[in-house]
Structure 1
């Protein structure tokens, strides 16, 4: 929860800091992409490392990296350093996420993972609820004379504190790492199993859907501030809207295992992603109250698919490859985070914020089509036993 609160707060503050310096939609897209660039080459190795040494060590390394990136962001002004520091924070966040997901997968290697990943995702959503509210509130305390733009230094300092506060918690994650010794395979067997996994059509369909959903979260944090400034909406209101979205995501993830057993992964994925696409179509043309309704739809659409894609990828792999498979999922997510924000930012130049959100809705429509033609590995009333 603390990790996500810090990460979301940083993304908001970075966008506002860039807008303070007089930027355009393309540079905002570059910022969103910079959060993913260094992680692109490290997600899969991080997953493999988590399979060998445990998720707790990888998570702690990620928190340290993110905290250093935020500290540098506070000390170094200018657009260039902002891009570099955003990349460092993105790398740290990636390591922390892979470590956490690997720990959950290892601890649930012989039983169902839908509910376990739902719990992890619910905790992440709590962080996404708290982060925007607290970061924008603190940043607004000293914003006098700045119009709708907050004091980004105050917000970033808070995010640094959240990352530091999270570090001691991961001492308790070592317990789940003890499962590793039972499932570890020789390196040659792991490499052979990875080749089989990489050739699976079902895996690549899953990874495409996962990337489309995750990039929607990134685009929202990058471009909602732009929409708010155009509509003269305060940063505190933006924080409240994003917190509402996160709250709905938390609620949607409670008891997700029971929902999956009753309805199956595929129907849940189709309905939730459709809710997000419709909300993105409506958001830029609605007023502040309509935007609140759209955030409820986005909460459902971004809350349910992420834990389901995590448990889906675990269902396709052996216990000894859970970390590597989740790292591969994160790698594809980073590819989406790099290419799509740049493309959407370029579209936004002539079309404005409406084009940003509508292009994202079209992307989610493509993800729905992929889910319809895929086997997700969980049918209604099925057992939650692992592969």
Structure 2
């Protein structure tokens, strides 16, 4: 078999296809959220309605998170991910065709549902198609997601602003939504690469998906800890996005500088994920989680004391400290998920994340907000310190366990093939 033929085999192509799909899906999804926020303001002129739209997006995803996992276990990840992107495209069409209160809310609900299907399915696909040490595959997936989140909002905003009439206060949201639809559509053809790879791996589906009870799964202490640690990381990212601009206003830091600081965090997050395999081999997953989460806790404690210049290395440290734990917790969860219930477990992960994303920011804003920026960032650090404690209570062997009953060897990822002992890149 020639080198070209080997490259064209489905097991060789799927990591590249998944990376493209993940980046396109996240770029489109983040753009949709941004455009719907502007559309909500244009329709009502009320910031309260913007919050309602954001809540509908999150709650719609929360409602389908557990069912999405079971749907994946029965029908396969590639189909569900593609279906989620189609649902998101339908949401884009609804929002663009009906720039009203009802149309905006409907678009937010469809986009929220579609995003959950895509995210859970892609994570489940990586869990099922990797073996031994899937750190590289999860690192690549989360790096592609971060890349999409970095590209989507500025690209969609630029298109929407370019299409707005002179003197118009709001961007042309319908044109921006059309751009989001185009980004989402880029990921649809990847189905024809991902589906054959999943079928070749003999993904458990149908009746086998009913052999494991989700209630029984979440009674496993290590799985509960993994879900909670992952949620603390996700919530910390959300809290930074919400409160770093507030900190900037309080300290007289211009909005464009705040934007660059958040970009620094995102760039270091992306970069750190491509080196995760070497770090796991050197330190082990438990030690690496403790180091990176501890680094982020320290950075959050110091952030209120910083000016714009000192904030640059602090945000870089936060980018690394939040970038590495996410793929590690995904691997941790994957290692504890029986193959017939992989989707259900990742659906549970999204449920825990969504609940944390809805409740903890409100708690921080209500309790710590009136006390000022010190209390906000220190309470966020406390939440993340809880994750450090949970990791510390977990046995090293639990974190280093390989996913059960996966294919015998990892297909190569865009960062190179991996093994459980050393990266061969």
Q: Under a length normalisation based on structure 2, what TM-score does the superposition of the two structures give?
A: 0.75
Instruction: Report how far residue 83 of structure 1 moved.
Output: 5.0
Instruction: Give, in angstroms, the shift of residue 311 of structure 1.
Output: 0.6
Indicate the residue corresponding to 2:113 in structure 1.
91
Aligned to 1:324: 344
- In terms of Rg, which structure is larger? 2
Residue 266 (structure 1) aligned to one of 283, 286, 298: 286
User: Is residue 163 of structure 1 aligned with residue 154 of structure 2?
Assistant: no
Quote how far apart the aligned CAs of 1:42 are: 1.9
Of residues 23, 31, 34 in structure 1, which corresponds to 2:47? 23
Return closer, same or farther for 1:17/1:273 CA change in 2, 3 Å cut-off.
farther
Taking the aligned partners of 2:150 and 2:66, their CA distance within structure 1 comes to 28
Asked if the contact 1:29/1:342 (under 8 Å) is kept, the reply is no
**Deviation of 1:36 (Å):** 2.3
Which consecutive unaligned segments of at least 5 residues does structure 2 have?
A: 1-22, 402-418
Map of 1:363 onto structure 2: 383
Is it true that 1:8 corresponds to 2:44 in the alignment? no
CA distance in 2, matches of 1:180, 1:223: 44
In the alignment, structure 1 residue 46 sits paired with structure 2 residue 68: yes
Matched with 2:12 is none
Q: Does 1:253 align with 2:273?
A: yes
Change (3 A) 1:39 1:16: same
2:94 to 59, 72, 76: 72
- Correspondent of 1:60 among 82, 86, 99: 82
8 A Cα contact 2:368 2:379, kept in partner: no
Residues 98 and 182 of structure 1: CA distance in aligned 2, closer, same or farther (over 3 Å): closer
Aligned pair in 2 of structure 1 residues 202, 278: CA closer, same or farther (>3 Å)?
same
Q: Which moved more, 1:7-16 or 1:253-262?
A: 7-16
How far is the alpha carbon of 1:214 from its aligned partner? 1.2
In structure 2, what is the equivalent of residue 172 of structure 1? 193
Change beyond 3 A, Cα 1:240–1:332: same
CA distance in 2, matches of 1:126, 1:310: 18
SS in 2 for 1:258: helix
Deviation of 1:145 (Å) = 5.8
Query: Which structure 1 residue ranges, 5 or more long, are not aligned?
Result: none
1:190 to 211, 215, 220: 211
Distance of aligned partners of 1:264 and 1:228 in 2 relative to their CA distance in 1, 3 Å threshold: same
Pair 104,57 (structure 1): closer, same or farther in 2 beyond 3 Å = same
Question: What is the CA distance between 1:31 and its match in structure 2?
Answer: 5.0
1:295 Cα offset (Å): 3.0
Which deviates further from its counterpart, 258-267 or 239-248? 239-248
Structure 1, 268-277 or 279-288: larger mean CA deviation: 279-288
Aligned length: 377
The change in CA–CA distance for 1:280 and 1:92 in structure 2 (over 3 A counts) is farther
1:123, CA displacement in angstroms? 1.4
Give the match for residue 216 of structure 1: 236
- RMSD over aligned CA atoms reads 3.5
Match of residue 129 from structure 1: 150
Aligned to 1:111: 132
- Greater mean deviation of Cα atoms: 211-220 or 87-96: 211-220
Contact 1:136 1:239 (C-alpha < 8 Å) held by counterparts? no
Q: Deviations over 1:245-288 (max 9, x none)?
A: 22211211113122112211122212222333344445566444
Residue 41 of structure 1: how far off its partner (Å): 3.0
